[in-house]
Chain A
Amino acid sequence: MSDITTERAADAAVAGGDAAVTHVRRSLWGRLYHGETAIDFYGRRKWGLTISAVLIVVTVLSLFTRGLNLGIDFEGGVAWEVPAGQVTEDEVRTILDDNGIESGGAKVQTLTSDSGTRLRVQVGDQTPAVVQQVQADFAEAAGVDVSEVSSTSVSSSWGRSITEKAIRALVIFLVLVALFISWRFEWRMALSAIIAMLHDVLISVGVYSLFGFEVTPATVVAFLTILGFSLYDTIVVFDKVNENTERYAGARAPYADTMNVSMNQVLMRSLNTSLAAVLPVLSLLVIGSGVMGAVALREFALALLVGLVTGSYSSIFIAAPILTMFKEAEPRFKTMRGQHATGMELERLVLGGSPEGHRREVARARRQAAATGAEGEVLISAATTPEAVLTHPPRPRKKKRR
């Protein structure tokens, strides 16, 4: 961010002599608040792409080396939860052995909440009779009523079938969404949005794999939310891009300009929305599961938190650059690649001017430069102040195309 300020400072210093410039210096916060940021997102696309590439490599490595810790809902098995007042882990294992269950393969966890400590014991598929017997034994060992010990059993075929259903639903969902976006916007946007979404889900899965969190149906719900939110966020950004594309259609502006202007225009909205989405989840995580100890909420909230953050991040730093790269491969934008506005020019564009202002500026400056025989960098005067912009209708009248 400090780059931008220096750029601006330099620009302002150069343009300082021009009497028409009536710039008010605002702090970064002030500019954010007033929607006057001029960040060259496209120019910095390599940052975002690199960070994401690193995260994805880490995820893939982790998936191959550590894999995912699938819960009993996916692999089948039985889990008991015992109030851990008097019963120790060793006793639990002894009880398992007594009932003919190999205790070496059992997972025993201690869960702490404000209603006391509980032991969670998880083993593979068992017959209902064994489940009952073990439950009774645990209750006896812990000195509580049988109903205090909860048990959960899932057959592995059921786990497989729900996973298959979820995956099928996901594929159909993606196809529908891709079709919808292609119809409403264009296929390049659909592709970019889905790439960004896969990126988010992959990174969220990576967090689960890296930290060895157990994947439960709640996790699947969380991943689906991430996917939905990521798409939602990207669509909002793309809608702005789409609107600006129409607006700039006659101006032969580089696509990166359209993108940069759109990004800056939606930046505050993205920040606000992300904050609004993250706060309740953070509250669920910190207050719900941290302070109040609802363990059931923890993994869910955690997956959501990671997903929401990456979701907001990816719509600006992944989806948009990828879309720009797609678009710049198009013949009509190809020739203008690398000519996008930065610094002051970009700021002028963001502040509502039409792209023509910028282009006229460049042309005039070039002419001047040619006339005066100036060399090297072309300096563009800041004659098109925001006021000048205001003397024109804020938006060129669109021709009704439909």
Chain B
Amino acid sequence: MRRKLIITLTVILTVAFGGLLATLIAGNRPALGLDLQGGISVTQQPVGEFDPATLDLAVERIRDRVDSLGVAEPEIIRQGDAIVVNLPGVKNQQEAIDLVQVTGQVYLRPVQGCSGEGVQTTDSSVPSGAGTTGTTTGGSTAGTTDTTAAPGPSRRVSSTPTTDAATDTTAAPDTTSASDSSVAATDTTIAAVPIDAPITTTPVVSDPTTQQLLPLRGGGQCLVGPAGGTGEVFENNASAQIIDGGWGITVGLRNGADGEDIWNALARECFNGTDTCPSRRLAIELDGEIISAPSVNVPEFNTDVQITGDFSEDEARDLANVLKSGSLGVSMETVSVQNVSPTLGKDSLRAAVISGIIGVALVLLLLVFYYRTLGLVVVAGISVSAALLYSIISLLSRTQGLALSLAGVAGIIVSVGVTVDSYVVFFERLKDEVRSGRTLRNSAQRGFAGAWRTILIADIVSLIGAFTLWWLTVGSVRNFAFFLGLSTLIDLVVSYFFTRPAVLLLARTDWMARRGVMGIKPAVTGTTGTTGTTGATAAAAGSAS
């Protein structure tokens, strides 16, 4: 029993302070939320009907854009239907809104010319003789003009896939015409904007009404004309599948004027290489980035469109998702923009930390004054809790992008009350047991058994609350609920694995037995004498006489 207690105590102390040490050495720190650090928070929500996958896609898009700007520790969270983007340290509000403004709109825009394609992928071309579909590159500026790639280890060899018409089952890709049609593409550059301009990394705000230079996924950029149609020409059935031995996408066209007609009008322009579409390629653009710009190989499509090329499986799935979400015509709306000035944030943080520390110190003083020796156990226990909490928050900040906000800090300060209560419940019970004439050792054991039951029930209620709030709410309430839940869990762990062994061991020492608890002398086993065998009343009787 005793050995077990010592082991438990050692393990919890090692975990808590070892974790803290590791955290400090690794330099992990809790990431600060926007309200503590200053910055801009933008919340967006989809308008009308939407596909949950669309939101995932939007989050990904925003993350790409934010990362490209190099914002430190951005926080992009999906909360229910809403996407909250917190950009600490960003000051320019308009820049922030532009950055995260993903509409989810897919535009189909004729390509006038591209540059810088495939630059980073030249090394990965693995030509294999296997005669699959003759997919060819449209971008002649690209270094890789190898026609095929093995479907197995293929990363993107050429970043421009080819569009084929899949007229029911009969359509076999016309490989020769494809390779012919897409060679002489890029000399016709209508350079309102020079397409070989330095490749910008800042996200471009899509403007579908005019000619624009847009970045191409996988490197390079293309000059594209005004949008000829939106993703809504497609059915919501885009799927990635293996077509002729390589990954490709099949997507259905909507019937009638809103679908086929628009698509075919565009396709004809590009197939014929008219002035609007000299490169014979059609760009699929999502939020200012060209996801894919396949060459058009047939002038007329019905029911289905196939896009093939040297896609990896992931790339194909990405493109399918883009088309899927685009087909719904979802647009995201900015519903809330909050600009927190960093001075306010810094002040708030300092005030919260200092007053929090003072508050906790006062509580500890009170407890040490009240419970004397046992009060010291509380001080140690709170240190263990604090060490665990700090390590866990730092770790989650690092790995999960969790940020500590003002509501979170407040949640922790509030949980001090709940944590301290566990000790108070235990010690008050201990006192009751001692008063009813038990030895300290026995009292500690019985006291804990009773107190643990109470602590467990009360903490479970807190946890139910924290979890429900975390699950169902947004914003600061959610952040608060998380920290409340976390500190409640830590309270349970510390109560069982630290307080219990610490007090039980302490209660076994002669030193403690002599001191008594809170003015009540416990029964001392083996002591007999005239002063009475037991308890408070004996002592009381003695002093009364």
Taking Cβ atoms with an 8 Å cutoff, the residues of A that contact B are: 22-24, 33-35, 73, 81, 113-115, 128, 131-132, 135, 147-155, 157-158, 161-162, 165-166, 168-169, 172-173, 176-177, 180-181, 184, 217-218, 220-222, 224-225, 227-229, 231-232, 235-236, 239-240, 243, 265-266, 268-269, 272-273, 275-284, 286-289, 292-294, 296-297, 300-301, 304, 308, 351-352, 385-387, 390, 394
For residue A301, give the distance in angstroms from its CB to the closest CB of chain B: 8
Interface pairs A-B: 3 shortest CB-CB: A277-B417, A280-B359, A283-B359
| CB pair A218 B406 closer than 8 Å | yes
Query: A283's contact among B362, B435, B471, by CB below 8 Å, is which?
Result: B362
Known: A128-B334, A276-B416. 17 other contacts (CB 8 A): A115-B343, A150-B340, A151-B93, A158-B43, A161-B45, A169-B469, A173-B469, A220-B477, A221-B407, A266-B428, A272-B367, A273-B424, A275-B363, A277-B416, A284-B359, A293-B351, A385-B537
Given contacts A154-B335, A279-B366, A280-B414, contact A128 B97 (CB under 8 A): yes
Taking CB as reference atom, which chain A residue is nearest B350?
A292
Interface assignment of B192: CB less than 8 Å from any CB of chain A: no
**Most chain B CB atoms below 10 A, which of A172, A225, A240, A385:** A225
| CB pair B410 A221 closer than 8 Å | yes
Given contacts A114-B347, A150-B344, A280-B360, contact A24 B544 (CB under 8 A): yes
B62-70, B177-185, B315-323, B458-466 - interface stretch: B458-466
| CB pair B476 A232 closer than 8 Å | no
| CB pair B93 A135 closer than 8 Å | yes
Interface assignment of B339: CB less than 8 Å from any CB of chain A: yes
* Interface bits B486-525 vs A (CB < 8 Å: 1, else 0): 0000000000000000000000000000000011100000
Given contacts A22-B544, A390-B437, contact A296 B337 (CB under 8 A): no
| CB pair A158 B335 closer than 8 Å | yes
Query: A276's contact among B417, B460, B519, by CB below 8 Å, is which?
Result: B417
State in angstroms the CA–CA spacing of A152 and B335 once bound together: 11
| CB pair B351 A282 closer than 8 Å | no
Given contacts A297-B406, A387-B537, contact A173 B465 (CB under 8 A): yes
State in angstroms the CA–CA spacing of A158 and B335 once bound together: 6
For residue A4, give the distance in angstroms from its CB to the closest CB of chain B: 19
Given contacts A180-B464, A232-B462, contact A280 B356 (CB under 8 A): yes
Query: B484's contact among A81, A115, A228, A296, by CB below 8 Å, is which?
Result: A228
State in angstroms the CA–CA spacing of A14 and B416 once bound together: 47
Taking CB as reference atom, which chain B residue is nearest A118?
B344
| CB pair A176 B468 closer than 8 Å | yes
State in angstroms the CA–CA spacing of A34 and B432 once bound together: 9
For residue A380, give the distance in angstroms from its CB to the closest CB of chain B: 19
Q: Which residues of the other chain, A, contact B91 by a CB distance below 8 angstroms?
A: 147
29 pairs from A and B in contact (CB 8 Å cutoff): A22-B540, A24-B543, A35-B432, A132-B94, A147-B91, A150-B344, A153-B338, A161-B45, A176-B464, A180-B461, A181-B461, A218-B407, A220-B477, A221-B476, A221-B477, A225-B480, A232-B458, A239-B453, A265-B428, A273-B424, A273-B425, A277-B414, A280-B413, A287-B354, A292-B350, A301-B410, A352-B435, A387-B538, A390-B535
State in angstroms the CA–CA spacing of A304 and B410 once bound together: 10
* Interface bits B391-409 vs A (CB < 8 Å: 1, else 0): 0000000000000001100
Taking CB as reference atom, which chain B residue is nearest A275?
B366
* Interface bits B15-29 vs A (CB < 8 Å: 1, else 0): 000000000000000
Taking CB as reference atom, which chain B residue is nearest A243?
B450
State in angstroms the CA–CA spacing of A222 and B416 once bound together: 15
